Every structure is written in structure tokens, then in C-alpha cells.
Homo-oligomer: A and B are copies of this chain.
Amino acid sequence: MPDRLPRRRKETRPAELLEAALDLFAEKGFAATRMEDIAARAGASKGTLYLYFPSKQAVFEALVHSALLPNMERLEAVVAGYEGSTPELLRTTLRILARLLENRRLIVLPKLVLAEAANFPDLARFHKRAVVDRGLGLIASILERGMARGEFRRQNPVLVARLFVAPFLMMVMWRTTFEPLDESFAIDTTRHLETHLDILLRGLAAEETP
């Protein structure tokens, strides 16, 4: 009887399956990951996987929902409650995002969404709305706060938000694309992003009013 604890797992099963799926998607990409492999890694059978998710695409979508949205909300909460200077808020935001980039499994999700967008336009649309637009909106609101407080010079906040985010995208693509090829391709994320912020803050600084 090596097979104890069979029931009662109903609650945890979906999470276990998603975790297995995330691992495999990270390792081999979406197309190369077989439903059977996902089930096997989660210690379940193919049938069970289909019990919780009606299709491979559904697994992918659930993964995106479950992994990205909580982080989104956490970040929004931090920003909402912030009291200090806007440059400091921007630095805090950058560091929170940088910490997310450290999570080797999490980081593959945006890459996957981008890579598979042509195959799953609905998912891409959802991701744009729920992650991209919402994230850019959050950054833009920070920038507006800075402009309103005279800390930044006037600029289109949405536009700058995209520029603020671009180096994160670069890191996502680099780490998911090139780093797996060879360890020596690794980049120092922190330095990359701190330099980014440094240049950005100087570039955004309000004109000296002599």
C-alpha cells in the first residue's frame, strides 16, 4: 500500500499540476511540453489533468492568471500606500520588479505569452489588459505623481512608463533566451537596472530653476 493520502488532495491538485506545468514550460517551452509530461511530473495521470483543465491552453491560461495577478496586486498595494518622494517610489518599484525577475520559473511566463501570442490571441489580449496595460498604468501614475509634485519634468507619462519598463523586458528575454544556452551569458540584473534608473532619473529630472 504505498499509495496513501489519495483523497483530500482535491484542493491541492490543481496547484500541483500548475506547478509541474510551469516547470516544464520553463524547461522546454509550451509546444514541446506534453500533457502527459505535466501529469507525470505532478504524479498524476493524463486523465486527472484533464479533470481540472479542459485543454492545454487552459493550463497555460490558468498559469498566467495564477502567477502574475497576485504579484500585480501586491505591487499596486505598495504604490498606493507610498508616502515618500517619487524618485524613491520609482526605485522601490524597480526593486520589487527586479526581485520578481530573480524567480527563474516565474520569468518564463511573460516570455511564453509573447512567444505564443500568435497561437493564443485571446490569452495575449488578456495578458495585455491584465498585466501590461495595468502595469504600465501603475508606472504612469507614479510618473504623474512625480510631475505633479515638480520632481520630474513634464513628459507623456504613458510613454515614459514604457521606457521605464523596457529594460525589464530586455532582462526577461535575455534570461529566458540566452542564459539557458551558456552560463557565461548571465547578466548582472541589479547593476543593469540600477544604471537604468540612474540614467532615467537624471533624464527626467526637473529643469534647474536658477
Contacts and interface: CB of A to CB of B under 8 A. Distances in A.
Interface of A: 27-29, 31-32, 111, 114-119, 121, 124-125, 128, 132, 155-156, 159-160, 162-163, 165-167, 169-170, 173, 176-178, 180-182, 185, 187, 191-192, 195-196, 198-205
A113 to B, nearest CB: 8
Given A118-B180, A163-B167, A163-B196, 8 more contacts: A27-B118, A29-B118, A31-B119, A114-B114, A128-B178, A155-B199, A163-B192, A169-B170
- Report copies per complex: 4
Contacts of A116: 115
A192 B162 contact: yes
12 contacts: A29-B118, A29-B119, A115-B116, A155-B195, A156-B191, A156-B195, A162-B167, A163-B196, A166-B166, A169-B170, A199-B203, A202-B204
Contacts of A196: 163, 166
Contacts of A115: 114-116
A185 B128 contact: yes
Interface class of chain A by DSSP = helix
A195 B163 contact: yes
Contacts of A205: 202
A119 B178 CA distance: 13
Nearest to A28: B118
A181 B128 contact: yes
A167 B168 CA distance: 10
Contacts of A160: 195, 199
Contacts of A185: 128
B114 A177 contact: yes
A191 B156 CA distance: 10
